[in-house]
Structure 1
Amino acid sequence: MKIATFNVNGIGGRLPILLKWLALAEPDIVVLQELKAPQAAFPHAAIEEAGYQAIWQGQSRWNGVALLSRVGEIHETRRGLPGDPTDDQSRYIEAAVGGVLVAGLYLPNGNPRPGPKFDYKLAWMKRLDAHLCTLVGLKAPVVVLGDFNVIPTDRDVYKPERWTEDALFAPEARAAYQQILAQGWTDAIRHLHPKETIYTFWHYWRRSFERNAGIRIDHVLLNKPAKKLLKAAEVDLRPRGWEKSSDHTPVWIELADQGVSRPLK
């Protein structure tokens, strides 16, 4: 089973990019972030024509998350992160698919720092920590993936000295991320590629992608049952090089087959 995350940075304008990548990479399950579209504007028909079922939580102009599957019915378990009933930002979606619990998230950016946006980021991470505590010990495989907006270590950023004031590289955010890992989660990319230079995001300016001046902020976390099934974890660089693509690129893992149903198409 191939499970991927892709921050599309606006599904309306970049739907052709997403459809091209789905046809090329053939992921079984995908979580999307930054739909930047209201609920009614999600391109459900086009996604279905590509062979995928979908659930989504849209939001006008900002945020928005979705989960797609071509290997079985999506059983939604949660929409929105618990812990703050006043939070109306679309940043978390969770479902059981093919014997795996998949949680897709879009963690707040937090800039400028300090300020209310950074405070919201840290509060959101605290709520995420509390919720993931309830999932990490499940006997079923659990995969938590998405745009975490956290650069975990110096190895995950080109020229770390340029990011010292940024919320993505703030000590408080990195500490909160490490606290989540300490529950028993495994960072799939770092587990299989502990010393490689790997990025998932590059700014549009100054030929950042061509120079590989990027950061790693899109992560895939596994609980112990999922880790036991892990066969591969990679970053797909191809979409980032396409014209008018997102500033993120997909990250995917492959889990050993547990007898899931075949693709719908």
Structure 2
Amino acid sequence: MKITTFNVNGVNGRLPVLLRWLAEAAPDVVCLQELKAPPGKFPATALREAGYQAAWLGQPRWNGVAILSRVGEIHETQRGLPDDPDPTQSRYIEAAVGGVIVAGLYLPNGNPRPGARFDYKLAWFEALIARAAMLMESGAPVVLAGDFNVIPTEHDVYDARRWTNDALFAPEVRAAFARLLAQGWTDALRHLYPENAPYTFWDYLRHAWTRDAGLRIDHLLLSPALAARLSDTGVDREVRGWDRASDHAPVWIDLADA
């Protein structure tokens, strides 16, 4: 099974990019973030014609998450993160797909720091950690997939000095990510690329893409039952260079049969 996370940065505006990538990469399950579309404007018909069922949680203009599947029914287990400090924001969707619990998430950016947005990021992170602990304790095969808006270490950014004051690289945020991992989750990219994990995001500004001035902020975290099945992982980096592309690239894992 191939599971992918992709911050599409506007599901309707970048629908041609999404459909092209789905046709070329043929992932089995996809977690999308930043739909930037209310529920009634999600392109379910176009995705169904491309071979994908979908479950989604959207809102106008901002945020939004979805799970796509071409390998079976999507059985939702959670819509919205329990104890979300602001449940009006669409940031979490969870479902059983093909024998795996897939949690698709879009963690708050948190800038500017300090401030209310940063406080919300930390509060949301605590709610995620609580939900992840419950999922881990279940013993089920689980993947936490999405745009975490977290640069875990200085090896996950082109120039750590430039990000010292950013919410994505704040000590409190990195510490929260480390506490999440300490529950027993495996960071798939870091596991198979212990020294040089590929970037997943390149800003539109300052020619970041052409300079390869990237960040690794999109993650797939695996419970022990799934980590044992991890056979490969990577980033579809070329998608970032397509016309009208998102500033993120798709990140994927391949799982061996159970």
Q: What range is the shorter-chain TM-score in?
A: over 0.9
Aligned to 1:202: 202
Cα RMSD over matched residues?
A: 0.9
- Partners in 2 of 1:69 and 1:62 — Cα distance? 23
1:88 to partner: Cα distance: 1.1
1:139 to partner: Cα distance: 3.0
The aligned amino acid for 1:190 is R
1:60 to partner: Cα distance: 0.2
Aligned to 1:48: 48
Matching of residue 87 in structure 1 with residue 91 in structure 2? no
* Structure 2 unaligned blocks of 5 or more: none
Any residues of structure 2 matched to 1:50-129 within 5 Å, and which? 50-84=50-84, 86-129=86-129
3-state SS of the aligned residue for 2:77?
strand
Aligned to 1:148: 148
3-state SS of the aligned residue for 1:206?
coil
Aligned to 2:236: 236
Aligned 8 A contact 1:99 1:140 in 2: no
3-state SS of the aligned residue for 1:131?
helix
> TM-score under structure 1 normalisation?
0.96
Aligned 8 A contact 1:137 1:223 in 2: no
The aligned amino acid for 2:223 is N
Any residues of structure 2 matched to 1:20-31 within 5 Å, and which? 20-31=20-31
- Partners in 2 of 1:165 and 1:244 — Cα distance? 29
Task: Report how many aligned residue pairs link the two structures.
Answer: 258
State which drifts further: 134-143 or 21-30.
134-143
1:207 to partner: Cα distance: 1.9
Q: From the superposition, tell whether residues 86 and 33 of structure 1 become closer, same or farther in structure 2 (CA, over 3 Å).
A: closer
Aligned to 2:225: 225
- Partners in 1 of 2:46 and 2:227 — Cα distance? 33
Superposed CA deviations along residues 88-107 of structure 1, whole A, max 9, x for unmatched, are 10000000011100000000
* Structure 1 unaligned blocks of 5 or more: 259-265
Matching of residue 255 in structure 1 with residue 255 in structure 2? yes
The aligned amino acid for 2:183 is Q
- Partners in 1 of 2:29 and 2:170 — Cα distance? 31
